[in-house]
Structure 1
Amino acid sequence: MQTRFIFLLFVLMITPGLLATNYYISAEGNDNNDGLTESTPWQTLAKVSEAGANDKNGGFIQPGDQILFRSGDTFEGQLVINRSGTHDNPIVISKYGDGELPILSGSGDIPSGDFIEAVKLVNTSHIVMDGIWIKNDRKYQGDITWGTNSSYGIKVIANKWGGISKDLTFRNLKITDVFGYDMIDWEGKFTLDYYNAKGIFFDSDKNDDTVMPVKEVRFEDVLIEDCYFYNLGSTAISARNLNPPNNPVSEEGRNCNFVIRNNTFEQLGGDGVVFASVCNGLVENNEFIDLGWGDHTSSTDRYYGRGEGCWIWDSHNIIVQYNRQYRARGFGDTYGAAGHIDFFCKNSIFQYNYSEDTEGGFVEILGDCENSTFRYNVSVNDGHRANGHHRYSIWLSGWVGKDITPVPSDENYIHNNTVYLDDPKCKPDISIFAEDTYIYNNIFYAMNGAQIGSGGVEIEMQNGGELKVSNNLFYGNIATAFSNLDTRKVSGDPLFSMPVSSNGSYDNFDIQSTSAAIDKGLSFPEPTFPMAGQGIFADVQLVPSKDVFGNAIDIENLIPNIGASNAHNSGDQVGIEDLKQVSDLFSIYPNPVRNLLNVNLSEIGKQLSYEVYSIQGQLVTAGYLKAGLNILKLNLPGNAKNGIYFIRMANADVFQTERFVLYR
């Protein structure tokens, strides 16, 4: 018997979560109860916070435990969790019973005043929040005399006492009605700091360099899905890291692996998603409706009044795709394709998005970015800001901060988008201050009083960079200063399936069989995305095989259509004049190779992309050789098996492929 008892005790010790406990909370409960059954629930958020405190402060929630609030009940106060689950046994915060989601509100009839955060997660890992409604409309200041213009539904904190906070899931949440105590814009303060009312805010402190080795502080592996954000004073989801920006290493000093998908964002004073210093982010299949909500002419307005779907800053490896954005407004930024690329970004792709009635315009890329791509998007009546301020169909700027010398972005790709304007309010311009920039295969349509470039076409290529404009279709009132940049421009009606100018969708902008856009595009090597097929991008292809309508595409090897739709394409092979294969671009040695492959360019030129594939066609590694260099020392991954491989190097004009043997 004693042996069996010892064995059972051993099993319990090595199997966290085997004796996981459910804790129940009801508005009719009592904090003196044990909370272990539906008939003996706790009552308050304060009681749950006691259980969720760290060991030092007497908390006792364990991995695998569930904190369950009764459906239909409202709980006012603040929920604080300072404990962690494990990967296999997360701590779950959810609901029990039928009816409307339980409400956790940081504001209401609270004697000490409304809280800044309704829910605060501090140095937590392996947490799941599922099926909760969060509110925080702060109207009673009480004892809290600081942060009066701040309010958060959920604030997630990572600091030096916790280090890396990971594996956080937020699912099936409602987050609504979040406002600061004194958010009325009576002084006309148009600053992001002034409006700090956010749905979920991930706030990571900088790394702790007071110890050796340096202790890293950040968030890793965050998933937000199937949530509803409504009526917020500012931004719905915001993530930042306070390490110094513009570190060339992707992971260093950044939050990692954020996935935001299948959410609805509606009537927000600010943006849907803001990534500040994030490495690896995927924002997909979200709907953004009425962002930048607010009226600054009103003395009672509590909304920030500037917003768009997703904008990124100092972030690497970001894909924003398959999102829909309607009626985004704002006095600055506020761009289509579901957002824009702010400065210090690298490897960013906005693709397959639909935007409509966006005040600023279509494409915005700010300074010191590298490898930025907008492709296969549909933009409808974007670019009607009344005062003409920052109102562009294409805006590439060198802006990297106030009173700082502009820095151009390099390797900008804008291809196979459909830009449709039929509202006389829409008069966006073109402004490009950049290095190498490629504008290929886009439809620019401006009819019924709409115009593109009538207010100016400004081109300032920097540091010897090239602007290549080719195989675009121009239809309607488009400035010749823009269309004449294209030596292979196409004219004619694109013949969309059923264009509409409000509450539309991608399907309205498929093309008919006699469209002037069919088989008129330019084939070229598409920009690389080094994380394709890996991690959170496991389902992302390096080279897209379908357009947003489901039509097959192979833009590197077949002549494509112009615009976002490849319907009715004949599938003709690429001609010599479209893509030139050469044999004198580079040489490699040694061959066979063990670990380090040396690549020598025949001459120093502009930046080249490189890709290494196995003989089965699997991507092994990819990246860039910067302009001005002619030697690449390529370390092959340690997990690559012996065999035959191919290295391909390319720019927008030529490519070369060489075979080598890996033998270790």
Structure 2
Amino acid sequence: MNNKLFFFAVAILLSCTSSWATNYYVHPELGREDNTGTNLLYPFQSLAQLQDLDLSPGDSILLAAGYTFPGTIVLQSVKGTENAPIVISSYTVGNALEDPRARIDARGQANGILLIDAGHIVVRDLIIEADGGGPLADSDMRCGVLVRPQTPGDYRNISLHHLDIRNVFYEDPGISRGKDEVRTANGSQSYGWGIRFINRTEGAELSEIRVTDCMVEHVAHTGIKFTGRDKSIRRIRLYNNRVLRTGGPGIQMSGVVDGHIKNNYVSHSGSPDDSRKWGRGSGLWTWGSSEIIIERNHFLNANGPGDSAGCHIDFNCNNVIVQYNFSANNAGGFCEILGNNYNCAYRYNISVNDGHRVKGKEGAFQEGKIFWLSGYQGNKNPRKGPFNSYFYNNTIYVNQDIVAKIAVDKAASGILIANNIFYIAGASQAVLGDQYRPEKEGASSITHVNFTNNLYLSPGNWPEKVLIQDTAPKIGNPGFHHAGGLNITDYIPANTAIIDRQGIPIQPLTNDTIGLYIGLQPETDILGNPNGDRPDLGAIAVH
């Protein structure tokens, strides 16, 4: 490049650097092993030179964009501050690049980036791959990014932004996992993971976590995963991410309090397109978590012989709200709430051809279901709940080639189902819940049910053998703009006379003093239209 232009760019970058913060540059061609790394003209050459740095608040590690860096970056016992975080990113000097990011190749490493006992860290604008490389002596997993506390303390403000994490596998190509591995609860073998936050340390809290505008694609197991001990992960924000072709779930959180998951696009979770993948997983699922809002996401094409819904609420949760999402072509189904869950809801969502899986075909050991309340809370525990489940103003479309299946556990208590549209063009069937310890037939003990005022395409859409029945069903064709389409606007009803202001106000269930922790009356529909003083039917308001 032109020398004058290069030195001018260097001067501009240096002039923007705070006098008390240090930038450490890494360039595989211009760098040397004996450079200080603190000047663009004298960068480090490899990631190995970063391991002994004594980083201070405001410092940055910057990798040359357009280049590949073999190895790993590890920050341990390093903290920035709220106003001066430590940054790991890319830098560009010279001609513009099509993708102005550096690439970390962590093949053979445990992680692309590992943060241990770290806080106030920003990782942004990087590509990370870790495609196998052989077994690891001290780890049974390989991660694009792994964040974990190992000692008691308060670790907060971790931000991951504009990362592209792809091709993360523990094994090299060609392995066979065996037919039974996909039937285990979460997989029992070694896998590659996209982004993981793990806090199993007593006395440690991990909080204020943001994952934004990231891409996670083609990894062996889960794309973005949180694993907390006794709700030791708090205040997570996942915005505008794309999670594609994961071998396991797209997004999963356990032991999390206060989560907001918004505007994410998750497709082909549970992908079987590589033998190293698990081959099963919902687009998103929660376990042992509280106060989680999951909204305005797309959950598409989940695959697997069990689970694999668009978004499901596993057991031991409370106050999980699933709203304003678009769910389509997910083998396991649409609404799935398991046992020992309290005050959870699906509202103002659209579901298209979910639950198409047929038990006994292609290895499936669970039926797909458009609606499933399950009392399952582990193999060793009796069935219990769920309690105070709210399901209202959803639009469900199932084409004539799919048998729409529904299961309601007799241990459930507190159920509101109202103002929904069930457009089921084919047959419907009541089935038993079929988790690992399947539900058994018997007398129902369901109490506190408000099941009323839902619109059905035909009288048989809700099977007679389901334990609860609509007390005031409506029958009619909403006249969707393009039934079967994959856009939200395809489900705008043309037959407004049977939709407009035909809903009922949603009130708390009998003996429920909580309702939904963010309120029962949302101001808008899935498109942002105001709901007005009386709700319509389905997810889209027409008044």
TM-score by length of 1: 0.71
1:120 & 1:559 partners in 2: Cα distance?
A: 51
**Which amino acid in the other structure matches residue 137 of structure 1?**
D
- 1:419 to partner: Cα distance: 0.6
Alignment check: 8 A CA contact 1:229 1:265 kept: yes
1:173 to 156, 163, 184: 163
Aligned AA for 1:105? D
| 1:346 alignment partner, one of 303, 309, 318 | 318
User: For the structure 1 residues 445 and 115, does the alpha-carbon distance in structure 2 shift closer, same or farther, using more than 3 Å as the test?
Assistant: same
Q: Where in structure 2 are the equivalents of 1:71-150 lying within 5 Å?
A: 71-82=65-76, 83-97=78-92, 98-99=96-97, 100=99, 101-107=101-107, 114-141=108-135, 144-147=136-139, 150=141
The offset of 1:520, in angstroms, is 2.1
Which residue is equivalent to 2:482?
498
Aligned residue number for residue 214 of structure 2? 227
Tell me how far apart the structure 2 counterparts of residues 491 and 483 of structure 1 sit (CA, whole Å): 20
Contact 2:481 2:492 in 1 (8 A): yes
What is the Cα deviation at residue 403 of structure 1?
A: 2.2
Give the drift of 1:104: 0.9
Q: Tell me, what secondary structure is at the counterpart of 1:495?
A: coil
Aligned to 2:150: 159
Match of 2:449 among 457, 467, 485: 467
Partner of 2:436: none
Kindly provide the amino acid, as one letter, of the partner of residue 414 in structure 1.
Answer: F
State the shift of 1:347 in Å. Answer: 0.7
1:437 corresponds to which of 400, 415, 423: 415
Q: 1:273 to 1:455 in 2, by over 3 A?
A: closer
Structure with the greater relative contact order (CA < 8 A, sep ≥ 6): 1 or 2?
2
Alpha-carbon distance between aligned partners in 2 of 1:330 and 1:562, rounded to the nearest angstrom: 32
Which residue is 1:266 aligned to? Answer: 244
- 2:171–2:276 contact (8 Å) kept in structure 1: no
Counterpart residue number, 1:69: 63
Aligned partner of 2:137: which letter?
A: T
- 1:366: which partner in 2? 338
Gap change, CA 1:352 and 1:513, over 3 Å in 2? same
2:329 corresponds to which residue? 357
1:47 is aligned to 49
Give the CA deviation at 1:134: 0.8
SS of the residue 1:428 aligns to: strand
Q: Which string of whole-angstrom CA distances, capped at 9 and with x for unpartnered residues, describes residues 32-65 of structure 1?
A: 10111222110111111221xxxxxxxx111001
1:392 maps to 369
Q: Percent identity at matched positions? A: 30
User: Which structure 2 residues correspond to residues 241-280 of structure 1 after superposition, within 5 A?
Assistant: 241-243=228-230, 253-280=231-258
Q: Give the superposition deviation at 1:155.
A: 0.9
1:512 matched to 2:499? The reply is no
In the aligned structure 2, how far is the partner of 1:509 from the partner of 1:487? 26
Unaligned runs of 5+ in 1: 1-15, 52-59, 108-113, 208-215, 244-252, 533-540, 569-664
Secondary structure of the equivalent of 1:173?
Answer: strand
Aligned-partner Cα distance in 2 for 1:402–1:483: 23
Q: Which residue of 1 aligns with 2:224?
A: 237
Corresponding residue SS for 2:178:
coil
Moved more, 17-26 or 395-404: 17-26
Write out aligned runs for 1:287-366 (5 A): 287-294=265-272, 301-336=275-310, 339-366=311-338
Shift of 1:267: 1.1
The aligned amino acid for 1:492 is G
Contact 1:195 1:304 in 2 (8 A): no
2:381 is equivalent to residue 404 of structure 1: yes
Aligned equivalent of 2:3: none
Matched AA of 2:208: D
**Secondary structure of the equivalent of 2:428?**
coil
- Opposite residue 311 of structure 1, the aligned amino acid is W
SS at match of 1:306: coil
Larger Rg: 1
Q: Structure 2: how far apart are the matches of 1:511 and 1:254?
A: 44
Whole-angstrom distance in 2 between the partners of 1:332 and 1:90: 42
Distance 1:505-1:400 versus aligned 2 partners, 3 A rule: same
Q: Which of 405, 418, 425 lines up with 1:428 in the alignment?
A: 405
Conserved in 1, the CA contact under 8 Å of 2:318 and 2:344? yes
Contact kept, 8 Å, 1:382 with 1:426, in 2: the verdict is: no
Q: Which runs of structure 2 are paired with 1:477-626 in the superposition (5 Å)?
A: 477-478=460-461, 479-482=463-466, 485-501=469-485, 504-525=486-507, 528-530=515-517, 532=518, 543-554=521-532, 558-568=533-543
**Residues 460-492 of structure 1: CA deviation (Å, up to 9, x unaligned):** 787662222100111145224459811211001
Q: What's the CA shift for 1:188? A: 3.1
**Separation in structure 1 between the aligned mates of residue 481 and residue 83 of structure 2, nearest angstrom:** 49
In the alignment, structure 2 segments of 5+ residues that lack a partner are: 1-16, 361-365, 434-438, 509-513
Secondary structure class of the residue paired with 1:46: helix
Q: CA RMSD in A?
A: 2.3
**Shift in Å at residue 17 of structure 1?**
6.6
| Match of residue 377 from structure 1 | 349
Q: Given residue 226 of structure 2, which amino acid in structure 1 is its aligned partner?
A: A
Aligned residues: 496
Q: CA deviation at 1:225?
A: 0.4
Secondary structure of 2:52's aligned partner: helix
